[in-house]
């Protein structure tokens, strides 16, 4: 199979406390729109966008999860199969900053270690900021995540968040491609095969294969085992 026949689809979860701008972030990235009205996300919302990164077409499937504790039982299930994660907090909300380590643990409990970025949003309200810049940098280093600062309202830095994650995921995929040979089987109606954790509309598959959109990866040669296999493992995990 030629490399250009592959479509790269990545599931990205955006997590953090309520009202930090998670929904606004994916609306801005996927639709180019912004609204001042805050509406609490009930459970999970979903949007997607295709971008070009390092010469590859990458489809980002963005899952916006509720930040309120009462929805934890619902949202945790949607972390499974994620390839990347955005940890978001608000520059004007100290509690959202202090909750970041616990959000990272929640995602890792379902996904293991995956490419993750720490995002400080609402930088347009810098005069109201309650997070010292050095604090944010220290947290970034402690969590092993790159820190990016955004203003969803002013559309500053939003594209960089998702391009960074896509680039990290591409690096991981290429690294494993160099180490292991995989044959990719798909009986879906598309031309070529798709690397994906799922299909949101359930269109992949036929009467012999359930239409859950999962692509089965099978090794053709001897696999060399490594300590961290979470990225490729998640790529074929059922939701």
Q: Give CA–CA dist 230/101, Å, rounded.
A: 20
What's the average model confidence in pLDDT over 81-106?
A: 96
| The pLDDT of residue 222 is above 50 | no
Look over the chain and give the mean of its residue pLDDT values, rounded to a whole number: 76
Taking the CA atoms of residue 166, residue 168, residue 173 and residue 174 in that order, the dihedral angle to the nearest 10 degrees is 110
Nearest-CA neighbor of 214 among 2, 45, 9? Answer: 9
Bridge partners of residue 61, in order along the sequence: 11, 48
Q: Are strands 44-53 and 56-65 parallel, antiparallel or unpaired?
A: antiparallel
What is the tens place of the pLDDT at every residue in 134-180?
A: 999 999 999 999 999 999 999 999 999 999 999 999 999 988 877 76
Bridge partners of residue 12, in order along the sequence: 62, 84
Q: Give CA–CA dist 49/134, Å, rounded.
A: 33
pLDDT of residue 27: 92
- What secondary structure letter does DSSP report for 193? -
pLDDT of residue 21: 92
What's the average model confidence in pLDDT over 108-123?
A: 96
Count Cα neighbours of 163 within 13 Å in the Cβ-side half-sphere.
Answer: 10
Tell me the whole-structure pTM to 2 decimals: 0.73
* Distance from chain centroid for Cα 112: 13
For residue 89, report the phi and psi dihedrals to the nearest 5 degrees. Answer: -140, 165
Q: Give CA–CA dist 197/167, Å, rounded.
A: 18
Q: Give CA–CA dist 119/93, Å, rounded.
A: 13
């Amino acid at each position: 199979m030629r490399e250009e026949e592959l479509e790269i689809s990545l599931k990205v979860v955006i997590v953090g406390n309520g009202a930090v701008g998670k929904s606004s972030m994916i609306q801005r990235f996927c639709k180019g729109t912004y609204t001042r009205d805050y509406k609490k996300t009930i459970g999970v919302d979903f949007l997607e966008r295709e971008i070009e990164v390092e010469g590859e077409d990458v489809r980002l499937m963005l899952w916006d999860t509720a930040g309120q504790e009462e929805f934890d039982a619902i949202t945790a299930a949607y972390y499974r199969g994620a390839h990347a994660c955005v940890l978001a907090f608000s520059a004007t909300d100290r509690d959202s900053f202090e909750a970041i380590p616990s959000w990272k643990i929640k995602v890792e409990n379902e996904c293991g270690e995956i490419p993750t970025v720490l995002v400080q949003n609402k930088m347009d309200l810098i005069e109201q900021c309650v997070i010292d810049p050095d604090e944010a940098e220290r947290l970034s280093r402690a969590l092993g995540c790159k820190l990016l600062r955004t203003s969803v309202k002013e559309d500053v830095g939003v594209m960089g968040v998702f391009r960074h994650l896509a680039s990290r995921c591409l690096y991981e995929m290429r690294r494993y491609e160099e180490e292991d040979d995989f044959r990719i089987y798909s009986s879906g109606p598309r031309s070529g095969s798709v690397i994906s954790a799922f299909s949101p509309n359930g269109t992949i598959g036929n009467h012999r294969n359930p239409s859950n959109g999962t692509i089965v990866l099978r090794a053709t040669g001897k696999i060399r085992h490594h300590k961290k296999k979470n990225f490729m493992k998640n790529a074929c995990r059922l939701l």
